[in-house]
Amino acid sequence: MRLGLFTGCLPRLSLEAIAEWSARQGYDALEVAAWPTAATEAGYAAHIDVAGMTGDEIARVRGVLTRNGLTLSAISYYANNLHGDDAERERIHRHLLACVDAAAALEVPCVGTFVGRDASRSVADNLARAQRHLPPLVEYAAARGIRLVIENCPMESWHPDGYPGNLAYSPELWDWLSGLGLYLNFDPSHLVWLGIDPIDALRPRLERGQVLHVQAKDIEIDDRARTRYGFFGKTVGRQAPEDVGWWRYRVPGRGLLDWNRLVDTLYAGGFDGVVAVEHEDPVWGGSEERIKQGLQIAAGTLRPLIL
């Protein structure tokens, strides 16, 4: 098992700068964010230009990794693959397939993404649409030796009322994903606020070989605030769909997850991939310095556990 980080939290830094800093902090691998380069103006990260994956770009990326003793665990583009607008969904799919091509060129085993959802349709309608739209993506990746790993984030910010916007948030849906040939990028933090025990959910997925990548993120829950707002969160005072008011994500070591048990469960289940820190902690955010401090806290928590 190796310790990695997801580069999306440092969108303004180059891949070179992130690799050099990460290696010094004891990280072994990078899950690289690869949004379209045009999206960087909106704050998204494009640390690899998958649309311009020339021989020179391949050599550049390999050189960065070699110099810093790092590996790539995944190339990731977390977008709504069931977007309700046909033209936008097709654009998303084209870029995801470019990520697959880049992963194949760089010999990276996984491409990370979401399933998504058309928020104007019912869950049943979305599941039926997924049966049409997702298999061609899986087949394209498989033909190139790449597997698509789906993060189990509910993406409540994609729904106008804060309901799940990514149909991959529960073990029931993971069974459905498996039937489509999709794998998991397992993130335990999302399960806690949904009332799902992450260890109990993880064990059978390891037995079935469905977990190919892990994201490490923690969570903090305010029980008194939940008593005020209820499970679905703020209503009158909500500033954004994700502004639920009673929970927030934290870096590993600053939340309530038992990382010793989680990592031990991964080892017991035979997982030998990358555990990549995903930094979405508002306490350790807001500036490059604070984000890096958060990543140092995460490394200090996880590094002694990942041998």
What pLDDT sits at residue 248? 95
* 296 closest CA partner among 263, 260, 251, 261: 251
Whole-number Å distance between alpha carbons of 201 and 211: 11
What pLDDT sits at residue 160? 81
The yes-or-no verdict on residue 237 having pLDDT over 80 is yes
Helices (H), the chain: 15-24, 55-68, 86-106, 123-133, 135-143, 171-179, 189-193, 198-207, 223-229, 259-268, 288-302
What would the pLDDT profile of 15-61 be if each residue is shown by its tens digit? 999 999 999 999 999 999 999 999 999 999 999 999 989 999 999 99
What pLDDT sits at residue 145? 98
DSSP state letter for 134: S
Query: Please, are residues 46 and 77 in contact by the beta-carbon 8 Å criterion?
Result: no
What pLDDT sits at residue 295? 98
Q: How far is CA 114 from the centre of its chain?
A: 8
What would the pLDDT profile of 164-182 be if each residue is shown by its tens digit? 999 999 999 999 999 999 9
**Is residue 215 very low, low, confident or very high in pLDDT (cuts 50, 70, 90)?**
very high
DSSP state letter for 178: H
Q: In the predicted model, what is the mean pLDDT of residues 81-100?
A: 98
What pLDDT sits at residue 159? 86
- Residues with Cβ within 8 Å of 236's Cβ and at least 6 positions away in sequence, in order, are none
**Is residue 5 very low, low, confident or very high in pLDDT (cuts 50, 70, 90)?**
very high
Query: Percent of the chain, pLDDT > 90?
Result: 93
Query: Please, are residues 217 and 280 in contact by the beta-carbon 8 Å criterion?
Result: yes
Whole-number Å distance between alpha carbons of 223 and 240: 21
Strand partners, 147: 110
Q: Indicate the pairing of strand 247-250 with strand 218-221.
A: antiparallel
Domains for the chain: give ranges and CATH numbers.
Answer: 2-217+257-302 (3.20.20.150)
Q: What angle do CA 75, 200, 305 make, to 5 degrees?
A: 60
What would the pLDDT profile of 293-305 be if each residue is shown by its tens digit? 999 999 999 999 9
What pLDDT sits at residue 227? 97
Higher pLDDT, 243 or 281: 281
Query: Please, are residues 113 and 182 in contact by the beta-carbon 8 Å criterion?
Result: no
What pLDDT sits at residue 243? 86
- Contacts of residues 232-237 at CB distance under 8 Å and 24 or more positions apart, as own/partner, are 232/161, 232/162, 232/163, 233/162
What pLDDT sits at residue 126? 97
What pLDDT sits at residue 66? 97
What pLDDT sits at residue 122? 94
**Is residue 8 very low, low, confident or very high in pLDDT (cuts 50, 70, 90)?**
very high
**Is residue 162 very low, low, confident or very high in pLDDT (cuts 50, 70, 90)?**
confident
Mean pLDDT score across all residues of the chain: 96
Is 28 in a helix, a strand, or coil?
A: coil
**Is residue 242 very low, low, confident or very high in pLDDT (cuts 50, 70, 90)?**
confident
